[in-house]
Structure 1
Amino acid sequence: MDTDLQIQNKKLELIQWLSTIEDLNFLEKISEFISRENKKDWADLISDAERKSIEKGIEQADAGRLNPHSKAREIYGKRI
């Protein structure tokens, strides 16, 4: 079974299950959980390599080791 179909089936299972819940406290807990999950900071979702690269760039910028936009244009041409 392909992943998209598995995802759709899981969503339908959850919708069906959720429609049977009558406990308001439980529904509120689910709602709070969803709300917390949706508010995650993007920085919590990146890899260690991405985080290290960003930190390195910040350190270089703080130390004044920056290249002007014209230099980036020279290196990368029309890709930017």
Structure 2
Amino acid sequence: MALKYLSALFLPGLLVLLFTRVSYNRVIGLVLTVGLIAASVYKGYTNSFALIVIDALSLTAGFWYAQKMKPKTKQIAE
């Protein structure tokens, strides 16, 4: 049971980062990860409300970090 909580803490955030890097769009990365979590809940792998809350926190952290990873544009000095 502890493995489920530990996985819920790290994997959704990492998946958001992975999908963001692959698709070059953080919203698409978030939507794909939410879809995977929804499928997991539907199939019965997520069986408690606490796991869903931890997944949501991890998604939020991954989305925030994906925003921080966004490349900054350089301003040209004229």
Range of TM-score over shorter length:
0.3 to 0.5
* Structure with bigger RCO (C-alpha 8 Å, 6+ apart): 2
Look at both structures and tell me which one has the larger radius of gyration over its CA atoms: 1
